[in-house]
């Protein structure tokens, strides 16, 4: 498989100078290119390190490289939000969705009442051709009503939280992780902004745009959301990858004149209550150092001098989809080879053929839970 080329040159002395001082260079919006989407995406990934991939380095270096090369912006080890995800963080959408769900609930209840009439008469007359179809539809309607009622309750609670929040915000001199509510920040006068195009650092090979930026006066607060089940291993704790991403976003935001990002916010997808994480100068310096280490790793990979190390905690591999073994048949292998991928085939105890994205890229058997259970070996 051909490996992408990563090129980004800058003056190391200039980088050191910027890391010791506040950067005030304006953020440049990416200019439209005449290249097609595929070329533009591939070349952008080869020149710049995404904040998402940089944060993934704290989870697993190999996962970070895969995320960068594939252009992934979601953590592979986290579950995707459900398809019928209910809105949060936006009062107008919450109220609109609540109205829709209430209307459907009324429709479902009306149908239920209408069907109860033939069901009662069918039972009175002892007509099974009426009783059983009506009973089946009634059961289905009750299941639908229960789900609609649950959604209405959740949306009502979210609406109540939004309308009854009091103004509250962390101190700009915050020195510890603290609990915060999205609606408390909105009540405190912050305006949410969404940036469609990524910010690009003028010196670092770094780019990215947070899920939202809360703005008020000179404050720019980066906000990220997670699909994980929790924000840290313990209450009031944030995973290292989220801390790195918030600090990286702060570095990008502060390339604008007179802007400060003293802390960032992280939320779960389904909860407006999250954590405020302090962002110190040490954290910002760590972003500079991590981006430089990542750049050097990519340069060494291009030269064939090094490969990203396995994660220090290999338990991270157990649920990572990049390392999940997938059954491989001849037609799929031919298609992968035609796409330029050198498939790293592994065999189970019955000699059935499997492969994984991480295994293909780094020529190894990742210690995924399914791989450990099947006791794979390298194919011939």
Indicate which CATH number applies to the domain containing 281.
Answer: 3.90.320
Of 254, 274, 309, the position where a domain reaches its end is 309
Of 258, 278, 309, the position where a domain reaches its end is 309
Domain membership of residue 350 (yes or no) is yes
Domain membership of residue 339 (yes or no) is yes
What percentage of the chain exceeds 70 in pLDDT?
80
Instruction: Tell me: do 214 and 293 sit in the same domain.
Output: yes
Instruction: Tell me: do 178 and 202 sit in the same domain.
Output: yes
CA–CA separation, 344 vs 346, rounded Å? 7
In terms of pLDDT, which residue wins out, 374 or 127? 374
Instruction: Tell me: do 118 and 265 sit in the same domain.
Output: no
What percentage of the chain exceeds 90 in pLDDT?
41
Instruction: Tell me: do 39 and 184 sit in the same domain.
Output: yes
Comparing C-alpha atoms, which of 4, 374, 51 is closest to residue 211?
51
Q: How far is CA 262 from CA 175, 274, 275, in A?
A: 10, 17, 14
pLDDT band at 320 (very low <50, low <70, confident <90, very high): confident
Mean pLDDT over 276-298 rounds to 93
pLDDT in tens, 158-208: 999 999 999 999 998 999 999 999 999 999 999 999 998 899 998 888 999
Overall number of domains in the chain: 3
CA–CA separation, 205 vs 10, rounded Å? 9
Instruction: Tell me: do 318 and 303 sit in the same domain.
Output: no
What is this structure's pTM?
Answer: 0.79
Domain membership of residue 86 (yes or no) is no
148 membership: H or E segment, kind and range:
helix 128-163
Instruction: Give the per-residue pLDDT at 113.
Output: 83
| DSSP single-letter state for residue 9 | -
Domain membership of residue 83 (yes or no) is no
Strands of the chain, DSSP E? 49-50, 178-181, 191-193, 199-200, 206-208, 212-216, 219-226, 263-268, 273-278, 326-327, 346-347, 353-355, 377-378
pLDDT in tens, 139-160: 888 899 999 999 999 999 999 9
Instruction: Tell me: do 13 and 132 sit in the same domain.
Output: no
Instruction: Tell me: do 122 and 159 sit in the same domain.
Output: yes
Q: Mean of the per-residue pLDDT values for the chain? A: 81
Domain that holds residue 285: 1-77+165-309
Instruction: Give the per-residue pLDDT at 77.
Output: 67
Of 102, 136, 163, the position where a domain reaches its end is 163
- Decide if pLDDT at 8 tops 70: no
Instruction: Tell me: do 129 and 143 sit in the same domain.
Output: yes
Instruction: Give the per-residue pLDDT at 15.
Output: 41
Instruction: Tell me: do 300 and 238 sit in the same domain.
Output: yes
- Decide if pLDDT at 28 tops 70: no
Domain membership of residue 348 (yes or no) is yes
Instruction: Tell me: do 284 and 329 sit in the same domain.
Output: no
- Decide if pLDDT at 16 tops 50: no
For the ranges 46-55, 213-222, 256-265, 296-305, the lowest mean pLDDT is seen at: 46-55
Instruction: Tell me: do 212 and 71 sit in the same domain.
Output: yes
Domain membership of residue 154 (yes or no) is yes
Could you tell me which residues come within 8 angstroms of residue 34 by beta carbon, excluding any fewer than 6 positions away? none
CA–CA separation, 247 vs 251, rounded Å? 6
For the ranges 19-33, 72-86, 345-359, the lowest mean pLDDT is seen at: 19-33
Mean pLDDT over 12-35 rounds to 38
Domain membership of residue 143 (yes or no) is yes
Strands of 156-270, DSSP E? 178-181, 191-193, 199-200, 206-208, 212-216, 219-226, 263-268
Comparing C-alpha atoms, which of 192, 277, 262 is closest to residue 22?
262
Domain membership of residue 60 (yes or no) is yes
């Amino acid at each position: 498989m051909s490996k992408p080329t990563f090129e980004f040159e800058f003056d190391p002395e200039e980088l050191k100078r910027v890391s010791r001082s506040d950067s005030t260079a304006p953020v440049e919006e990416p200019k439209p290119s005449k290249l097609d989407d595929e070329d533009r995406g591939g070349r952008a990934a080869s020149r710049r390190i995404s904040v998402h991939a940089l944060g993934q380095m704290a989870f697993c270096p190999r996962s970070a490289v895969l995320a960068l090369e594939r252009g992934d912006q979601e953590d592979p080890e986290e579950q995707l939000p459900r398809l019928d995800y209910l809105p949060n963080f936006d009062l107008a959408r919450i109220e609109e969705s609540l109205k829709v769900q209430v209307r459907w609930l009324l429709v479902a209840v009306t149908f239920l009442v209408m069907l109860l009439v033939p069901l009662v008469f069918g039972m009175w007359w002892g007509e099974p051709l009426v009783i059983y179809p009506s009973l089946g539809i009634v059961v289905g309607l009750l299941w639908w009503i229960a789900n609609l009622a649950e959604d209405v309750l959740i949306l009502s609670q979210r609406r109540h939280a939004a309308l009854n929040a009091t103004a509250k915000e962390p101190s700009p001199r915050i020195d510890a992780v603290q609990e915060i509510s999205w609606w408390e920040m909105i009540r405190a006068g912050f305006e949410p902004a969404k940036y469609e195009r990524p910010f690009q650092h003028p010196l670092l090979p770094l780019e990215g745009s947070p899920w939202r930026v809360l703005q008020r006066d000179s404050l720019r607060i980066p906000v990220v959301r997670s699909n994980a089940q929790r924000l840290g291993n313990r209450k009031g704790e944030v995973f290292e990858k989220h801390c790195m991403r918030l600090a990286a976003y702060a570095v990008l935001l502060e390339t604008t004149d007179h802007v400060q990002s003293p802390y960032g916010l992280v939320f779960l997808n389904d909860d407006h209550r999250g954590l405020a994480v302090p962002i110190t100068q040490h954290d910002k310096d760590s972003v500079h150092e991590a981006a430089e280490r990542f750049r050097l790793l990519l340069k060494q990979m291009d030269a064939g001098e090094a490969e990203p190390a396995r994660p220090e905690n290999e338990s991270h591999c157990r649920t990572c989809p990049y390392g999940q073994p997938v059954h491989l048949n001849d037609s799929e292998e031919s298609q992968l080879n035609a796409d330029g991928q050198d498939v790293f085939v592994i065999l189970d105890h019955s000699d059935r053929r499997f492969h994984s994205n991480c295994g293909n890229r780094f020529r190894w058997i990742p210690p995924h839970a399914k791989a450990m259970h099947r006791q794979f070996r390298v194919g011939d």
